[in-house]
Every structure is written in C-alpha cells, then in structure tokens.
Amino acid sequence: MTVNSAHDLAGRREVVTEVPGPRSRQLQERRHRAVARGVGSALPVYVRAAGAGLLHDIDGNTFVDLCSGLGVTGVGNAAPDVVAAVRGQVSEFTHTCFLATPYEGYVAVCEELADLTPGDHEKRSALFSTGAEAVENAVKVARAATGRAAVVVLDHAYHGRTNLTLGLTARNNPFKQGFGPFTPEIHRIPASYPFRDPAGQTGEQAARRSLEALERQVGGENVAAVVLEPILGEGGFIVPAPGFLPEIARWCAEYGALLVADEIQSGFCRTGAWFASEHEGVVPDLVASAKGIAGGLPLSAVTGRAEIMDAVQAGGFGGTYGGNPVACAAALASIGVMRRDDLAGAARRIEQTLLGRLKDLQSRHEVIGEVRGRGAMIGVELVRPGTDEPAPELAQRIVAACHARGVFLLTVGTYGNVLRFLPPLVIPQGLLDDALDVLEECFAQVAAGGAG
C-alpha cells in the first residue's frame, strides 16, 4: 500500500483492530529479536504516517496524538512547510560538517535564536543534535565562563541521558539505575512543587529554603550554574509557584552564578510563549533548546550572552552532525510556521480548552489531585481519593483505556501518576474535543471499576 502523505488518510480517530493490531504485534516480535530491551515503547503500535494531531498505524488504526513525539512535532508531523524545506535541502547537500565548511542555514538558525530567546542583549549560539548535548555544552560554557565547578539542579529534574546529564537528572529508576558513577560537583536542591509543598508557601519562600541550604553546603561563590526547567517536564509538568524562578535568577546574579534554562521541552511556543521563562519575566544567561525547534529533525542549541558564550575557546564546541543542514532547514521552516500561524496563540487556546475540560472533570472525580500547566503542556496528577498519595496504577489504567479507544497520551512524573497532555500546537479543535470526550468516558469507566 502506498501512502503519499498523512493527509490522504482518515482525518479522524478510528480503531479497526484491537490495540496493538496483528501487524504491529508481528513487528513487535521481530523487534524483540533485534532491538535492545533497554529501549522501550509506550504504545507498540507501528506508525506508517502522521499528520497534524493524528497517528496512523500499520493496522489501519488512527489515533489522536496528544504526545507530539514527546513534545517535538509542535508544528505538526510531516508539516508541509517542513517537508518542502527538507526536500529542498536534501537535494542540494545533506552534510558538510559546519566545522569543515560552513553553510548559511546554521547562521540563520543562530540569528533566529538570538531574536526569539528571552532578553535583548547580544547573544551567540552553538548548534548540536540532541537535547542532552545542548545541556552538556551549556554546563561546559558555564564552567569555562565562571571558572567554577559546582552545578546546581532541582529535584524532579530531567536533563537527558548522557553521563553528565544523567547526573543532572533526578530520577534513578529507570534512567540512572546501574549507570553510575556520575560526574562530581552536581548538587540537587528542592524544586517548587505547589501541589506537594506546604500550603501557603510562596515561590520566593520555596526558593529561599532551597538556596539557604545551598549556601551552607556548597557556597554560592562556588556555583558555576543553576540548571533548571522553567516548567519541570519529565518530573510531572510541575509549574513552580510564582516568584520561585525570579528569586533563583536574583540569587544567581548576586553570586555570579549563571542561570541556565533548559527549555528543551518548554520552548518554541509550547507553553503559549516562545520560551516558558517569559511567563515570569526571567532572562536566563543561557538557554538550551531542542525538541520543538525543527518539526522532528534532530537539532539542539545553546544560546546565551555573547561574552559568556565566547568565553569558550575557538574549537571548544563541535560535533560531526551539530547543526546539520537538513535539520537547520527544518528549523527555519518550523520557526516560519510558528510565526506565521501564531502557534504561541494556538498553545494558549489549547490551554483554555484543556484546563476548562480537565478542571470540570476534576470536580467530578476525587482521584484528580491537580490540573496544572501552561499552553499545550498540561498535566493531571492522580491520587488516592482524599489524599495526596500518588496513584500510578490508576494513571496506567486510564491511559490504557484511552489507547484502546484511539487516543494516544502518556503518563509522566516522578511518581508516574500524571497524565500528560502534549498535543501538537496545530491540533484541530475537533480532534482535541473528541480526545477529551474519550478521556471522560475512560474516567467514568475506570471509576466504575471497569477494565482498561
């Protein structure tokens, strides 16, 4: 069967087999004989095409996509502008290595990053391929620029899976188990987690508590950088209490430590602004971006104050594939779509729909402890009724029930009990409404004790 594009396929949710279907199950068997066990898949339906908010599998099922490939395809999957830009670039040249002979696309992406990231100071960028690489290089910059070693991270943080970034990542199982030792001079402080922090604690108080411990244990003058996600992603879509981020930023400035915002998941319109730091008027010294930047092509970046970035000696940055020309073409096309179609505005409309419907659901289901998030990055934390005890198995049952009905969403969070809503920013309203109808059915069914 030939499929020219996702746009030739069903434009709505449709489940025609059990999930996963027979062809996917067959492929899954083949996979088990070839692919390492350490690589998981949340829903092993094998995809053959995908578009703006839909995933089509090889069994003829169509899922509403509330995952965007983990927050990557904000502009849509196989977005026409991205496809055209990639086709154009691929037929010109696919790779030279910017370190060998440069090309314009790399420069143009860095110009866009200077324009779009918070703050109007002079900036420089360096491009890489993965998010982890961007965070790792941001730490290198911070150490080179400050001459200090200590790196401070938050509880519930996720920064990647290389050895350094695993050290920065909070959660042991499954991310870190068996993979140590990790690099020294990483210090973890409590995050602001309003749902679980003492009632009435302000963001500023939460930050003071964390920073006072840091001053005692490490000394502010030894800190090269505080690396944080403005909205914790993998940790559970946790929005810090207002005032937390500004107080950390103020402290960094006081001690000459750099504030590194890991905006890999929260950047590029995801939260209803170009970058989530903007919601609190925070201007980070360095910004790491990736995921949403290039519509599915692997590209990441570190952007920061010119004098900080240029503290790294010539030749100190690099990598064979960093800023690959095809990925740069995809990024320029994606950024063009975000501007032209105001995808930050689209994310704010998605937020309205999601928060409205999910808070209504919360009023009817005691298991919903909190509905939170910004833009198209919304989490629903599930608990045992009347407590704040996490209910991860309930989250699994809800998600499984959604999958069986053709709605693809995942769980997230340190306790595995948060439903994560991360749709493409271009998802049609009708698909979002339909997915939420299905979710309501699933809550009703699971609450009634039905099987997933």
Ligand X SMILES: *Cc1c(COP(=O)(O)O)cnc(C)c1O
Question: Of the candidates 9, 78, 132, 398, which one interacts with ligand X according to CB under 6 A?
Answer: 132
**Mask of contacts with ligand X, 284-313, x by CB under 6 A?**
------xx----------------------
Cβ nearer to ligand X, comparing 130 with 417: 130
398 binds ligand X (CB under 6 A): no
CB 219 within 8 A of CB 141: no
Question: Of the candidates 77, 89, 125, 130, which one interacts with ligand X according to CB under 6 A?
Answer: 130
Distances in Å between the Cα of 293 and the Cα atoms of 280, 299, 314, 338 are 22, 7, 26, 10
Distances in Å between the Cα of 421 and the Cα atoms of 65, 71, 351, 384, 433 are 9, 10, 10, 21, 13
Identity of the residue numbered 102: P
270 binds ligand X (CB under 6 A): no
418 binds ligand X (CB under 6 A): no
d(CA 407, CA 399) in angstroms, rounded, equals: 8
Q: Identify which range of 129-137, 314-322, 327-335, 377-385 contacts ligand X by CB under 6 A.
A: 129-137
Question: Of the candidates 229, 278, 285, 351, which one interacts with ligand X according to CB under 6 A?
Answer: 229
Q: Identify which range of 87-95, 228-236, 246-254, 436-444 contacts ligand X by CB under 6 A.
A: 228-236
Question: Of the candidates 262, 278, 285, 351, which one interacts with ligand X according to CB under 6 A?
Answer: 262
CB of 370 to ligand X, least distance (A): 20
Contacts of 212 (CB under 8 A, 6+ apart): none
Q: How many CB atoms are located within 10 Å of the residue 9 CB?
A: 18
236 binds ligand X (CB under 6 A): no
| Burial class, 39, CB count within 10 angstroms (exposed 0-12 / middle 13-18 / buried 19+) | exposed
CB 146 within 8 A of CB 225: yes
156 binds ligand X (CB under 6 A): no
Name the residue with the smallest CB distance to ligand X.
131
CB 424 within 8 A of CB 68: yes
Q: Identify which range of 36-44, 91-99, 152-160, 316-324 contacts ligand X by CB under 6 A.
A: 152-160
d(CA 11, CA 224) in angstroms, rounded, equals: 50
Cβ nearer to ligand X, comparing 81 with 229: 229
252 binds ligand X (CB under 6 A): no
Question: Of the candidates 62, 68, 265, 411, which one interacts with ligand X according to CB under 6 A?
Answer: 265
| Structure tokens, 25 | 């199950």
Sheet containing strand 123-128, edge to edge, reads 123-128, 300-305, 286-289, 258-262, 223-228, 150-154, 186-189
264 binds ligand X (CB under 6 A): yes
Of 139, 77, 106, 35, nearest to 425 by C-alpha is: 77
171 binds ligand X (CB under 6 A): no
CB 318 within 8 A of CB 136: no
131 binds ligand X (CB under 6 A): yes
Question: Of the candidates 74, 230, 233, 325, which one interacts with ligand X according to CB under 6 A?
Answer: 233
375 binds ligand X (CB under 6 A): no
Coil/strand/helix, residue 380: strand
Cβ nearer to ligand X, comparing 367 with 410: 410
338 binds ligand X (CB under 6 A): no
d(CA 5, CA 80) in angstroms, rounded, equals: 10
235 binds ligand X (CB under 6 A): no
CB of 291 to ligand X, least distance (A): 6
Task: Note the residues at the interface with ligand X (CB under 6 A).
Answer: 130-132, 135, 158-160, 229, 233-234, 262, 264-265, 290-291
